[in-house]
């Protein structure tokens, strides 16, 4: 029989991958390729590139040891075609294989390239997810609003996680109300488990430094897991050392502690080193054993079988045009401060600095600092989407785009969020220590030194009043605005516009 090519992508590093299960180890040939097209379609953070390439090389070794014929292309191979399709054609000519098996990619961009490739490609379902496309479509059919909370309950029932018969453990589905504590004075956790780069990782770091040194982000120190064994160690470390406090402080932000009680394993899950269900089962086991409280276990599990699965469902349900949506008509370019230019806004400075150095920021930093600012300032959501996809280690389009375009920027018109996630400086001050030592005063509403979030918040509400005035969740905001003295409203709008003008002119703000 003629052999087939089995394409394994850089975020598909799972031995249980559907394409590998459908293949014949005795005759089929695994193709894994590092290519420039995938590393540069956005300017990915060097740490992200290094993680994926190093994990790919480690996974290729694992498959070879398991008896697979693996044809691996390194980025600097002289024969490297520079694209996934090009590498498939090269390996087809080399081996005589005429068909390709691949597990469905997580980006419409790559799906379309494979569908139109001049070689027969069989795209198989990605069964590493709990909800298939069909399951999500069935759930969504006929619903006026696709709210995550109701989908999440279906996922709890399907998996049995934190269930007591047909009822949720703790008699509630969602303990988010208990997970909003402000930043603690001290964090009794040293952070995620760190690994010393081995020879394979060191080779990749040298390659990335040489090829992608101009990309936004610092490459070293690099301490991430690049194998399944290391990823499991990182998971064990989080569950035993941090999970119990994760729920309480998952929304908090500290300028001198970038990780608090977070797991920092999302990238390992998203590239396939950890299975999402096994992670949730381990967390549920910790709760069942009495090691962690219900709010911690439920809050963590909701992020994975709730938000993660829901985001993928939305991405594929809405189709390839989703990333281009701009319901609010925002057109401002992404300001230089997102790329590390000086800003006097300490919260933004700290969030961007952390992103640059770690390729990581947690969900509230992304949503309520950088995302909130981008939305209030009217930045083009396509530019915001590209930035998030580029700078975060765990960002792959199927999960990043709905979080950014939908939840963060409201560019999908309300498919995901029932209202825009906007806030003044008060929320940031309550949940972080960023406002201490800032050049702006969070308590000041207008005048010299007024916090820009305070000004931009009302400017946003005013300019989008026609869209949001009848939103039930925003009525109090507009009533507060309407009660303000007319001269004060005029001052707020004038000062907010002045700030936006300076931002657009490239001045330090």
Residue 123 has pLDDT above 90, yes or no: yes
- Look at 186 and 445; give whichever has higher pLDDT: 445
For residue 142, the domain's CATH number is: 1.25.40.80
Residue 173 maps to a domain: yes
Domain count, the chain: 3
Q: Which three-class secondary structure state does DSSP give residue 262? A: coil
- Does 234 reside within a domain? no
The answer to whether 2 touches 95, Cβ cutoff 8 Å, is no
The whole-angstrom separation of Cα 197 and Cα 200 is 8
Task: Spell out the long-range contacts of 147-151 with Cβ–Cβ below 8 A and sequence spacing 24 or more.
Answer: 147/418, 148/306, 148/307, 148/310, 148/416, 149/173, 149/174, 149/306, 151/306, 151/309, 151/310, 151/313
What pLDDT digit, counting tens, does each position of 477-509 carry?
999 999 999 999 999 999 999 999 999 999 999
Alpha-carbon distance of 131 to 140, in angstroms, equals 12
SS (H, E, C) 268-295: HHHCCCCCHHHHHHHHHHHHHCCCCCHH
467 occurs within a structural domain: yes
Is a pLDDT exceeding 80 seen at residue 55?
A: yes
As a whole number, mean pLDDT of residues 226-234 equals 98
Same domain, 146 and 176: yes
**Range scoring the smallest mean pLDDT among 57-61, 121-125, 333-337, 472-476:** 472-476
Task: Return the pLDDT at 237.
Answer: 98
Q: How far apart are CA 61 and CA 70, in angstroms?
A: 9
Q: Is the pLDDT of residue 187 over 90?
A: yes
CATH number for the domain spanning 450: value is 1.10.579.10
Whether 346 and 418 share a structural domain: yes
Torsion of CA 372, 378, 382, 384, to 10 degrees: -30
Same domain for 156 and 302? yes
Confidence tier at 146 by pLDDT (50, 70, 90): very high
Give yes or no: residues 144 and 111 share one domain: no
Are residue 181 and residue 46 in the same domain, yes or no? no
Nearest to 52 by CA among 104, 113, 9: 9
Residue 445 included in any domain: yes
Give the up-direction half-sphere exposure of residue 470: CA atoms within 13 A in the CB hemisphere. Answer: 2
Backbone angles phi, psi at 414, to 5 degrees: 110, 15
Question: Which domain-ending residue is among 317, 351, 377?
Answer: 317
Q: Is residue 199 part of a domain?
A: no
CATH of the domain at 54: 3.40.50.620
In the predicted model, what is the mean pLDDT of residues 415-442?
A: 96
Residue 184: pLDDT band with limits 50, 70, 90: confident
**Pair 83, 165 in one domain:** no
User: Residue with structure tokens 């790919």?
Assistant: 56
pLDDT band at 185 (very low <50, low <70, confident <90, very high): confident
Q: What is the DSSP letter of 432?
A: B
Contact between 366 and 454 (Cβ < 8 Å):
no
Which residues are within 8 A (CB) of 314 and not within 5 positions of it... i.e. 6 or more apart?
146, 322, 402, 406, 415, 416
User: Are 297 and 169 in a shared domain?
Assistant: yes
Domain final residue pick, 124, 145, 162? 124
Q: Domain for residue 208, yes or no?
A: no
Is the domain of 148 the same as that of 277?
yes
Give me the pLDDT at residue 333, please.
Answer: 97
Q: Examine the domain organization and report whether 412 and 464 are in the same domain.
A: yes
- Domain identity same for 120 and 145: no
Residues in CB range of 438: below 8 A, 6 or more apart: 344, 345, 346, 347, 451
Q: Alpha-carbon distance 304 to 326, whole Å?
A: 27
In this structure, is residue 223 part of a structural domain? no
Q: For all residues of the chain together, what is the average pLDDT?
A: 97
pLDDT score for 83: 98
Mean pLDDT of 179-185: 89
Residues 364 and 478 in one domain: yes
> Is it the case that residue 1 has pLDDT exceeding 90?
no
The alpha carbon of 503 is separated from its chain's Cα centroid by a whole number of angstroms, namely 26
Q: Tell if the pTM clears 0.95, that is, is over it.
A: yes
Residue 80 to residue 204: CA distance in whole angstroms: 16
Confidence of residue 37 (pLDDT cuts 50, 70, 90): very high
Domain end point (choices 124, 149, 164):
124
Q: Is residue 210 part of a domain?
A: no
Residue 363 belongs to domain spanning: 336-504
pLDDT at 2: 81
Residues 246 and 174 in one domain: yes
Q: State pLDDT tens for residues 14-35.
A: 999 999 999 999 999 999 999 9
Confidence of residue 183 (pLDDT cuts 50, 70, 90): confident
């Amino acid at each position: 029989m003629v052999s087939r090519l089995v394409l394994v992508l850089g975020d598909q590093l799972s031995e249980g991958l559907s394409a590998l299960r459908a293949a014949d180890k005795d005759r089929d040939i695994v193709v894994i390729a590092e290519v420039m097209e995938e590393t540069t379609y956005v300017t990915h953070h060097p740490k992200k590139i290094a993680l994926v390439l190093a994990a790919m090389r480690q996974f290729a070794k694992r498959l070879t040891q398991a008896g697979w014929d693996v044809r691996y292309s390194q980025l600097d191979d002289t024969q490297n075609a520079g694209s996934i399709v090009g590498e498939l054609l090269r390996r087809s000519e080399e081996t005589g294989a005429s068909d390709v098996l691949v597990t469905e990619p997580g980006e419409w961009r790559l799906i379309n390239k494979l569908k139109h490739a001049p070689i027969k490609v069989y795209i198989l379902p990605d069964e590493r997810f709990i909800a298939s496309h069909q399951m999500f479509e069935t759930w969504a059919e006929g619903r006026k609003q696709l709210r995550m909370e109701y989908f999440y309950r279906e996922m709890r029932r399907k998996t049995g996680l934190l269930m007591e018969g047909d009822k949720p453990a703790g008699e509630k589905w969602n303990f988010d109300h208990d997970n909003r504590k402000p930043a603690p004075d001290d964090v009794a956790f040293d952070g995620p488990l760190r690994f010393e780069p081995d020879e394979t990782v060191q080779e990749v770091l040298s390659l990335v430094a040489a090829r992608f040194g101009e990309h936004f982000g610092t490459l070293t120190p690099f301490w991430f897991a690049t194998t399944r064994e290391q990823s499991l160690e990182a998971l064990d470390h989080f569950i035993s050392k941090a999970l119990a406090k994760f729920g309480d402080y998952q929304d908090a932000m500290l300028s001198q502690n970038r990780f608090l009680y977070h797991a920092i394993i999302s990238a390992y899950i998203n590239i396939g080193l950890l299975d999402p269900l096994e992670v949730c089962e381990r967390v549920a086991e910790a709760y069942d054993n009495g090691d962690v409280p219900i709010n911690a276990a439920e809050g963590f599990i909701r992020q994975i079988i709730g938000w993660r699965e829901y985001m993928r469902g939305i991405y594929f349900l809405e189709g390839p045009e989703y990333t281009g949506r701009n319901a609010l008509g925002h057109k401002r370019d992404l300001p230089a401060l997102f790329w590390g230019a000086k800003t006097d806004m300490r919260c933004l400075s700290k969030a961007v600095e952390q992103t640059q150095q770690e390729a990581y920021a947690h969900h509230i930093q992304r949503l309520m600092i950088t995302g909130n600012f981008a939305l209030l300032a009217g930045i083009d959501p396509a530019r915001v989407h590209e930035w998030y996809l580029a700078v975060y280690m765990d960002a792959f389009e199927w999960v990043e785009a709905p979080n950014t375009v939908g939840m963060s920027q409201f560019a999908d018109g309300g498919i995901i969020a029932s209202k825009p996630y906007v806030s003044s400086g008060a929320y940031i001050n309550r949940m972080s220590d960023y406002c201490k030592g800032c050049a702006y005063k969070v308590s000041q509403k207008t005048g010299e030194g007024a916090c820009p979030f305070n000004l931009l918040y009302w400017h946003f509400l005013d300019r989008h009043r026609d869209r949001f005035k009848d939103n039930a969740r925003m009525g109090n905001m507009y009533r507060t605005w309407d009660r303000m003295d007319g001269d004060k409203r005029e001052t707020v709008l004038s000062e907010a516009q002045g700030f936006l003008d300076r931002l657009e002119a490239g001045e330090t703000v």
